Amino acid sequence: MKRIIGLMTVSVGILLVSLNCLYFNEIRLDMKNLDAYVLETNIILESIEKEKIPSEEEKILSQDKKLKYVGRLVKIQDGLENTNTSFLTKAYRDYKIKSIKNLIDAVTYDDSECYREVARYNRLGDLEIEKLSKNNFITGTFSPINHILNQRD
């Protein structure tokens, strides 16, 4: 009997380790799919910021550069929207899409409020990734149960 309990315990442990590996592997694969889009967006944002710094006269981007940036951002947005990701990284992808939409508005209308929204959504996306990377399978599995139990109190 002790032998069967020991084998069962080892089997459950192996199952939990395997599920934990699948969880992090799924996140890693989703991030690999989104990585090129996020990198390109960050490059565009950085180049916009560099062009706005030199002087007050050059503060407003030229129309040609605006069209170029908006075209690239629209393609990135379409790519992100059409990328298949799991439910685990859906919130991160949604934050990045909202960030790109606000960046398009910021470039088009030279609106500083939109730049603040871009920074906000980028920060929320980073927090979402941190939350996913700190989370493990056991915490993710049992936190809804704990939430339900805490509501009863």
**Residues 85-136 pLDDT 10s:** 888 889 999 999 999 999 999 888 887 888 899 999 999 998 998 888 776 5
* C-beta of residue 21 within 8 angstroms of C-beta of residue 70: no
What range does the domain containing 85 cover?
A: 25-137
Buried b (16+ CB within 10 A) or exposed e, 48-75: beeeeeeeeeeeebeeeebeebbeebee
Model-level pTM? 0.73
Give how many domains the chain has, as a whole number: 1
In a domain, 129, yes or no: yes
In a domain, 65, yes or no: yes
In a domain, 70, yes or no: yes
Q: 51 is written with which tokens?
A: 């062009």
